[in-house]
Amino acid sequence: MTEVIWEGTVDDGTWEVQVKRESDYRATLTVTRISDSEEILCEEVGLAYRAVFGPDVDDVNLWMTMGIEAIDHYNAQHPDAQKGET
C-alpha cells in the first residue's frame, strides 16, 4: 500500500521531504539530501481522515516543520556539509 502522498524540496532543491502511506492512518516521513541520497530522518507520522482526498493541511504543516527542523539540526551538527564538504 506504500504510495507517496506528499513531497517537497527545501533549500533550492538540496533536500527532499517525502511522506509515504503505510496504512490508512499511518505514513513514513523521510528527509533526504538529494545530491548523495543521505537520509537524515525517517519517522512514522499520522494521517488525518485517511488522506482520501490528499493530506490534511494540519498534517502537511507538521511534516514541513519536522523536515525543516531535521535539516536545521543536521546543518548545525555538520557545518562543513553546507559548503559542500561532506
pLDDT in tens, 1-53: 689 999 999 999 999 999 999 998 999 999 999 999 999 999 999 998 877 78
Name the residue among 71, 79, 61 with its Cα closest to residue 14. 71
Q: Which amino acid belongs to residue 61?
A: N
Q: What is the pLDDT of residue 53?
A: 81
Sign of the four-CA dihedral 34, 35, 39, 41: negative
Segment 53-75 mean pLDDT: 94
pTM for the complete prediction?
A: 0.88
Number of domains in the chain: 1
- Taking the C-alpha atoms of residue 29 and residue 6, their distance in angstroms, rounded to an integer, is 9
Residue 75 lies in domain: 3-83
